[in-house]
Structure 1
Amino acid sequence: MRPSTEEHLIQFLKKNKEVFAWTMTDLHGISPDVITHKLSVNPNAKPVKQKKRMFGAERSQAIKEEVDKMLQAGYIRPVQYPEWLANVVLVPKPNGKWRLCIDFYGT
Protein backbone atom coordinates (compact mmCIF):
# COMPACT_ATOMS: atom_id res chain seq x y z
CA MET A 1 0.00 0.00 0.00
CA ARG A 2 1.32 3.42 -0.88
CA PRO A 3 2.03 5.71 2.10
CA SER A 4 -0.52 8.26 0.89
CA THR A 5 -3.21 5.59 0.60
CA GLU A 6 -2.35 4.26 4.05
CA GLU A 7 -2.55 7.75 5.58
CA HIS A 8 -5.90 8.38 3.86
CA LEU A 9 -7.24 5.08 5.23
CA ILE A 10 -6.03 5.86 8.77
CA GLN A 11 -7.69 9.28 8.69
CA PHE A 12 -10.91 7.77 7.37
CA LEU A 13 -10.97 5.15 10.15
CA LYS A 14 -10.26 7.75 12.84
CA LYS A 15 -13.00 10.01 11.49
CA ASN A 16 -15.52 7.12 11.62
CA LYS A 17 -14.39 5.40 14.82
CA GLU A 18 -17.87 5.64 16.35
CA VAL A 19 -19.17 2.98 13.92
CA PHE A 20 -16.90 0.31 15.39
CA ALA A 21 -17.75 -1.81 18.43
CA TRP A 22 -15.02 -1.39 21.04
CA THR A 23 -16.66 -3.51 23.73
CA MET A 24 -19.08 -6.44 23.71
CA THR A 25 -21.93 -4.24 24.89
CA ASP A 26 -21.45 -1.92 21.89
CA LEU A 27 -22.92 -4.57 19.58
CA HIS A 28 -26.56 -3.44 19.86
CA GLY A 29 -28.99 -5.07 17.46
CA ILE A 30 -26.59 -7.79 16.33
CA SER A 31 -28.21 -11.21 16.41
CA PRO A 32 -26.27 -13.70 18.55
CA ASP A 33 -26.56 -16.09 15.59
CA VAL A 34 -24.08 -13.90 13.71
CA ILE A 35 -21.40 -14.24 16.38
CA THR A 36 -22.24 -17.66 17.83
CA HIS A 37 -19.72 -20.44 17.39
CA LYS A 38 -20.78 -24.03 17.74
CA LEU A 39 -18.55 -27.05 17.89
CA SER A 40 -19.26 -29.89 15.49
CA VAL A 41 -18.97 -32.89 17.76
CA ASN A 42 -19.19 -36.46 16.59
CA PRO A 43 -22.20 -37.90 18.48
CA ASN A 44 -20.27 -41.17 18.91
CA ALA A 45 -17.25 -39.47 20.48
CA LYS A 46 -16.53 -40.06 24.16
CA PRO A 47 -16.79 -36.80 26.17
CA VAL A 48 -13.51 -35.45 27.54
CA LYS A 49 -13.34 -33.46 30.75
CA GLN A 50 -10.03 -31.71 31.32
CA LYS A 51 -8.58 -31.48 34.79
CA LYS A 52 -9.49 -28.13 36.33
CA ARG A 53 -6.64 -25.61 36.22
CA MET A 54 -5.91 -23.42 39.20
CA PHE A 55 -5.01 -19.74 38.69
CA GLY A 56 -3.49 -17.11 40.94
CA ALA A 57 -5.54 -14.21 42.31
CA GLU A 58 -4.70 -11.78 39.46
CA ARG A 59 -5.56 -14.26 36.72
CA SER A 60 -8.68 -15.50 38.52
CA GLN A 61 -9.91 -11.89 38.73
CA ALA A 62 -9.19 -11.33 35.01
CA ILE A 63 -11.12 -14.50 34.14
CA LYS A 64 -14.06 -13.47 36.33
CA GLU A 65 -14.21 -10.00 34.75
CA GLU A 66 -14.12 -11.35 31.18
CA VAL A 67 -16.71 -14.04 31.90
CA ASP A 68 -18.99 -11.47 33.60
CA LYS A 69 -18.73 -9.19 30.54
CA MET A 70 -19.64 -12.04 28.19
CA LEU A 71 -22.54 -13.15 30.43
CA GLN A 72 -23.94 -9.59 30.60
CA ALA A 73 -23.64 -9.20 26.83
CA GLY A 74 -25.45 -12.52 26.30
CA TYR A 75 -22.55 -14.14 24.44
CA ILE A 76 -22.27 -17.06 26.84
CA ARG A 77 -24.59 -18.79 29.26
CA PRO A 78 -24.04 -20.98 32.30
CA VAL A 79 -24.17 -24.73 31.75
CA GLN A 80 -24.89 -27.21 34.53
CA TYR A 81 -23.27 -30.64 34.42
CA PRO A 82 -21.55 -30.22 31.05
CA GLU A 83 -20.65 -33.34 29.10
CA TRP A 84 -17.58 -31.57 27.73
CA LEU A 85 -15.28 -29.33 29.74
CA ALA A 86 -12.44 -27.21 28.34
CA ASN A 87 -10.16 -24.96 30.38
CA VAL A 88 -9.56 -21.28 29.82
CA VAL A 89 -6.12 -20.02 28.86
CA LEU A 90 -5.04 -16.45 29.55
CA VAL A 91 -2.83 -14.90 26.88
CA PRO A 92 -1.11 -11.59 27.69
CA LYS A 93 -2.05 -8.66 25.45
CA PRO A 94 0.47 -5.96 24.48
CA ASN A 95 -1.42 -3.47 26.70
CA GLY A 96 -0.82 -5.58 29.82
CA LYS A 97 -4.36 -6.98 30.01
CA TRP A 98 -5.36 -10.60 29.42
CA ARG A 99 -7.09 -12.26 26.47
CA LEU A 100 -9.35 -15.14 27.49
CA CYS A 101 -9.07 -18.18 25.21
CA ILE A 102 -10.30 -21.77 25.44
CA ASP A 103 -8.02 -24.83 25.26
CA PHE A 104 -10.06 -27.36 23.29
CA TYR A 105 -7.02 -29.60 22.74
CA GLY A 106 -6.47 -30.36 26.41
CA THR A 107 -2.70 -30.36 26.22
Structure 2
Amino acid sequence: MLEGDAIFATQIGRNMEIYVDDMLVKGKVRTDYLENLRETFEQLRKSKLRTNLDKCSFGVTSGKFLGYMIHK
Protein backbone atom coordinates (compact mmCIF):
# COMPACT_ATOMS: atom_id res chain seq x y z
CA MET A 1 0.00 0.00 0.00
CA LEU A 2 1.34 3.44 -0.90
CA GLU A 3 1.73 6.03 1.85
CA GLY A 4 -1.07 8.22 0.44
CA ASP A 5 -3.34 5.21 0.23
CA ALA A 6 -2.74 4.45 3.92
CA ILE A 7 -3.18 8.06 5.05
CA PHE A 8 -6.42 8.55 3.11
CA ALA A 9 -7.74 4.96 3.27
CA THR A 10 -11.14 6.02 4.64
CA GLN A 11 -11.59 8.64 1.91
CA ILE A 12 -10.32 6.97 -1.28
CA GLY A 13 -13.25 5.99 -3.48
CA ARG A 14 -15.71 7.75 -1.16
CA ASN A 15 -14.75 11.41 -1.48
CA MET A 16 -11.24 11.32 -2.93
CA GLU A 17 -9.22 9.86 -5.77
CA ILE A 18 -5.40 9.67 -5.70
CA TYR A 19 -2.89 8.81 -8.38
CA VAL A 20 0.79 9.04 -7.39
CA ASP A 21 1.00 12.64 -6.11
CA ASP A 22 -2.25 13.95 -7.65
CA MET A 23 -5.32 14.20 -5.45
CA LEU A 24 -8.96 14.96 -6.27
CA VAL A 25 -11.40 15.72 -3.44
CA LYS A 26 -15.05 15.59 -4.45
CA GLY A 27 -18.57 16.10 -3.14
CA LYS A 28 -22.06 15.96 -4.66
CA VAL A 29 -23.11 19.29 -3.15
CA ARG A 30 -21.08 22.23 -1.86
CA THR A 31 -21.58 21.38 1.82
CA ASP A 32 -20.35 17.81 1.23
CA TYR A 33 -17.37 19.12 -0.72
CA LEU A 34 -16.39 21.54 2.05
CA GLU A 35 -16.69 18.81 4.70
CA ASN A 36 -14.58 16.49 2.54
CA LEU A 37 -11.93 19.22 2.19
CA ARG A 38 -11.94 19.70 5.96
CA GLU A 39 -11.42 15.96 6.44
CA THR A 40 -8.60 15.98 3.87
CA PHE A 41 -6.79 18.92 5.44
CA GLU A 42 -7.15 17.31 8.87
CA GLN A 43 -5.47 14.14 7.55
CA LEU A 44 -2.74 16.19 5.87
CA ARG A 45 -2.09 18.05 9.13
CA LYS A 46 -2.00 14.83 11.21
CA SER A 47 0.47 13.32 8.75
CA LYS A 48 2.56 16.51 8.64
CA LEU A 49 2.09 16.78 4.87
CA ARG A 50 1.73 19.99 2.91
CA THR A 51 0.22 21.01 -0.39
CA ASN A 52 1.66 23.30 -3.05
CA LEU A 53 -1.04 25.97 -3.29
CA ASP A 54 0.28 27.07 -6.70
CA LYS A 55 -0.80 23.65 -8.01
CA CYS A 56 -4.18 23.54 -6.20
CA SER A 57 -7.64 24.43 -7.49
CA PHE A 58 -10.62 24.59 -5.15
CA GLY A 59 -14.36 24.62 -5.86
CA VAL A 60 -14.13 23.92 -9.57
CA THR A 61 -16.81 21.90 -11.37
CA SER A 62 -14.56 20.87 -14.26
CA GLY A 63 -10.87 20.67 -15.07
CA LYS A 64 -8.01 18.49 -16.17
CA PHE A 65 -7.01 15.55 -13.95
CA LEU A 66 -4.33 13.12 -15.12
CA GLY A 67 -4.61 14.53 -18.63
CA TYR A 68 -8.39 13.98 -18.84
CA MET A 69 -11.10 16.61 -18.75
CA ILE A 70 -13.52 15.83 -15.95
CA HIS A 71 -16.73 17.61 -15.11
CA LYS A 72 -19.60 17.56 -12.70
Structures share a fold, TM > 0.5?
Answer: no
The two structures have a TM-score, normalised by structure 1, of 0.25
- RCO comparison, higher one (Cα < 8 Å, 6+): 1
Q: Which has the higher strand share?
A: 2
In terms of Rg, which structure is larger? Answer: 1
